[in-house]
Structures are given as C-alpha cells and as structure tokens.
Chains A and B, each alone.
Chain A
C-alpha cells in the first residue's frame, strides 16, 4: 500500500540531512508506526508521502501511485492529519466536517459509518468553534475530517503529542476500530508506550531507521539481560550503578532503574548487591525483567 525506496531529504541547501536513505513498505490493512523523537525525520516522510514535499532522491508510492507523477490521485485518495492542528478554528465542529467532505466531493452522510463512533462524542458540541475545543477533542475532530472522504490510507503525524494519557488511550482505541474496518494507517508518535499497539514499527533517530519489525520481534531482538533495581535512595543508586565496573548501561524507568551488564554472568546479581552494600545502599531490590520498546530504543541508539 505504501512503499519507500532510498528516500533522502535535505534542507538548507543540503546542510541538514532530515531523511537518510529510508526504505520500508506498509501492507494493506496494516497499522504501521513511525516511532522516534523530534528531528527523527517522521514529518518529512509524511509530507513526502502526502505529496507536499519533494524528496532529493529515491522513490515512493501510495497505493501504486508515484508521489511525483501521480500526486493528483494521491491527494484525492489519502487522509492526512498533520502534526499541527490544521482545521479552521473559527468554523464550528460541524462546519469543519462539512467543509472537508465538500472539498473531496462527498457528503457527510455518504461515509458517516466511518466516523460515526468518533463523531457521536463530538456531536453534543457540534456548534462549538473548533478553536474552543480541548486538545483531545481537537484531535478527534481532525481524525473525522481526515476520514470523511473514505481514504485508502490514513497518514497521522503525531496525533497524540501533548494529549493526556487517558485521551491518548481513547485515540488508540479508535485507530484499532478503524483498522478493523480495513483502513491502512501510518501513524507517528514520540511516546514509546504507544508502539506496542502497532502491527509493525520503524524505530527512527536522526533521519535513519534503526529497525523495522513487529514490537514483539524488536523486544525479542534485545540481546542483553535486563534488571530492575530499586532502593529508597534512587538518585544515589543511579550514580553508584553508573560507576560500577560491570555496568553496561543504567537508566531511570519510573520507580526503578533498568540495568544491563557488559557480559552475561551468573554472578552479576550477587556482585551487584555486594557492590551496592559497600556503597551503603540499603533495602536494595533487584529482579530480572523483560525489556520494553523504550529499552530497545535506548539500546539501538547506543549502537
């Protein structure tokens, strides 16, 4: 459904490399995630696929249409939700939806089944101006507007950035339901915890793809053993473990530290506990854990 081959994009006369030889493909009906921080190149890729930006080199296509030669077809048949809120703030909820339907030569009624689940939540406020909606509601309306012409593929650029955890969960539930209706979705996010909800993900950093896999396989590919360590004094625990000779890496993860060792060794745990005791750490808890996507991302970043 979506294909990229060696796409490269620079800005400022070649001085800033935004997308560095990126290739991947997305199958029909897939929920595909671009995961990475600001500056990873996610938005540039979306803009190239939405035919709003020309790549320096490489080829890309959407539903078989080339992003350069067939841009007209692509524009008529995709839904694109940019990173910045881009609806008309001084039109009402209903007016915005009507406007986008008309623009694509259709009517709200024609594809209402696609947006119904989402739109019923907005309906009580249909006369409210879009600019007066909360962050979560704005995103729901933008999703409706991107869907109303029944696109073959949906491009969503950071739809959940700045949205609170509860609204984020709701938004992802909607994406799941759209996927069940057969819509191909490419979505980007800086929140690593959302990666698990995709069929496959591309982990991106500085314009490059570090890995394209299902979330399960990315976790399976994590080579090291990972330990969670906690004590009542987390801040000193972190600096102690950073100085420990067996430590490969150590990072704070919520209420514990995630620790990996340079080499696999049965005695790692015992030696760590002895070392921490010598550093006057008391009530240390240490257990082996499975890595998450964020652990994998950090580990790939450092390779």
Chain B
C-alpha cells in the first residue's frame, strides 16, 4: 500500500511523443482507472509505472522512494496483462508461484501459497492443469492469482477484461472491485471502456493525446467535465454537441444561436466566449415546443429505455427517453434541453460553464 507520485513524466518512441508531461498523485489504497481512446498513452503510462518502459524524462515515486530507475521486479508491482501472459508449459500452480520460485522460496511453501490464493479465487480444482485446459474466465483468474501471490504494493491491470464475453466481464468487474476492498492495495487499472471506469474507479484519470485531460471521481467527471473531450468521452450514448454563437449576454444569462437554427437562453455565468453547446441524451426531451427542431431518423428500443435519433439541420442528436416512448421514425419533433444540465464550452474545448445545479 503505497502512494504514487508521478511528476513531469514524458515518453517518446523515437520521434513520436506518447506521454507529453504527466503529473499525477495516487493515494494509499486508491483504485485509479486510466481511461481514454486508443493511442492516448494510458497503457504506456502504466508500463512506465511498472518499469517495462523507461520514461524519457520525469520522475516516479512510491511514497518517498524514487523508483524511476529501479528494475521492474524490485518496484513491488504486479501486473495483469490483457493477454494474461500465462506460461503455457506450466501448471496453474507453477504459473501463480513463478515469482516465488525465482525468489528461491522452497516448493512446499510455494504450494501452500498457491493453494491459499486459489481458494480465494475458486481455482483450487484447477491448480494442476495447464492454461490450455482452462476457459477464458479461468485464465483471467489465474492471471489475477499470479499477481496476488506476489503480495505487491501496487496492482497494475492492463485492460484485463477485454478478452472476456459481456456477461463474464460484468462478473469479473465486480470480482476485482471486491478484491480491492479485501486486499486494500493501491490499484491502477487501464481500460478504454468508460463503463468499467465509471463503475470501478475511486478516481478516474482521463488521458487524451498523452496528456491528463481531467482527474476526479466518476461523478465529478460526469457532472463537471473540464472540457468537451471529457464530456464526450464519459457517458453512453455520448453527449450531444451543437455549435453555438453567442448573441448577447446579460448578467447570468446568455443568449445563444445554435447551429440547428434556433436561439436559446441559458442561465449561466460563462467565463469566456461560448462556442459549443453540450447536452446529454438523458437531458433532452421530446416536446411540442422547444428550441431545437428536427426529424426522427431512427428509434432504438432497449427495453428499459429508448434511444431516439433526431436529425436537425446541423447534427444528428440522440435523445434518451423512457421505455414507453411512442415516437416513430419520420416524425417532426421539437427537443427541449433541461435548463440545469446544459454544458457550455469555449472554442478550444474548455468548459466555460458546467451544469452547476445538476
């Protein structure tokens, strides 16, 4: 259980910068999720923390210990790989206790530790099998078991669920969260799946093009995104964005002309000139009157909710409605945004007024 301090870490592969200056603090026993689109640098950052990649510049501390140049095995980290990286020629028990074998722990003790961890992960009957004889979910648990056996200070997970089917993914997600509560270790988890990020994290670090876009608890990020990238990345379906021009401003009210053709009055104290209007699908309603007009292009009934795709003169907007929505494709509709849930962004994407009351 250590706290991690990352200061000014950059990483380039040849001429290509992948991390462009990361500053980050991760607390004791915290579960932090790195999330972002592919190529944002999240896996590279994890690998720099593990020591599998050398940072081009910057420093990493575990508590007060500078580990920037420490060998991976001496950092006290264990990693669960996306591919699980189980050694195919060794049994489950041998796989799990490889680190102990390399550390010279005698065989009976290794076996005892393997059995202890196997019990925790329901792997006991599989201890003497080879990985080829296991299902995907079982292999995944062996990979986690291998990490637990090492009793590391920090657990690193590199997209560990992406090779599992949807049902198993949810189950394992819950399992990992429970594991974090039981062990209380510091855990860093990399994923491109914002649902995993939202459900598992104490804090989420959103990365974009090698920089930290925003750090915060899942709900903070969801409710008060620092920029249009974060706003668009978290939430499913993603936030609707409409280009907007400021017409006038008076006190705490701004009048905007939306690209879809109509004007709207927003109660917000924007700090800068507004260029983009953002509203989440769940905060748009189909109404008789509203500032945005369009034609329904498609309707998706998902059971508990309905997604309505509305084509306006500028963009296609998504509305998340209740399960009983009766709208049909081809209907002319008006959309009304919930006034308290509007996000406004400047031309460079910075949030200039979040949805303060939401």
Indicate whether A and B interact.
Answer: no
Interface residues in chain A, defined as those with a beta carbon under 8 Å from any beta carbon in chain B: none
Interface residues in chain B, defined as those with a beta carbon under 8 Å from any beta carbon in chain A: none
